[in-house]
Amino acid sequence: MSVKPKKRGRPFNSSKQLSNSIILKCAKSMLEEEGKIPAIRGLAAKLNVDAMAIYHYFANKNALLEAIASSLVTEIYEPKNDRPWKTEIYSLCYSYLKLLKDYNGLLETMLSSTCFGPSNVFTEKFSQITDTLGLSPATAITARDLLVDYLHGFAFAMQLNKRDGEIELEMIKGPINLYFGALEKYN
């Protein structure tokens, strides 16, 4: 068995082998494949670098987790502002749930984290859509929190369901329509 030599210590400035984006791309790939956040050592092994090289780019594991989660959440639906608000919210919800389904373990990571990066991304996109409704700040926060709690519960149900096809993303249409009815009363 041959062992690949690992690059030890801090990466050289001239090195094109490692960067924040390369580490994040590899970590996201491992998360998608394994369904859990990769360990620093596992990530380093996959990148063929010493584990300490990862810490050159990320101060600690929490910083890496925040970067992974924020990077993934930025990939969800970007509101267009030229479509009806209901369509926009549904598209945002659907893409968020699809992300959580594709990256099993991401939701647990976000919920156990003390960082606000991923939630800020969702909040900004949600606000971009709902600002046109003229909701009071308190109502907007309640509407966001209610929706996020529902989406997280749905995501957990998808993860825990062991029978394929029993819970599909399209099943959110009915509850989301009920949610829309409640928002219209404040509109």
- Output the pLDDT for position 5: 53
- Output the pLDDT for position 34: 84
> Running along the chain, 187 residues long, what does each successive block of 10 average in pLDDT?
52 62 92 84 92 91 86 91 93 94 84 80 94 92 96 92 79 95 85
- Output the pLDDT for position 61: 84
Give this prediction's pTM: 0.80
Angle subtended at Cα 90 by Cα 164 and Cα 175, rounded to the nearest 5 degrees? 65
DSSP letters spanning 7-31 = BPSSPPTT--S--HHHHHHHHHHHH
- Output the pLDDT for position 15: 45
- Output the pLDDT for position 161: 83
- Output the pLDDT for position 81: 81
Short-list 134, 12, 24, 132, CA closest to 72: 24
Taken in order of first residue, the domains within the chain and their CATH numbers are: 1-58 (1.10.10), 72-186 (1.10.357)
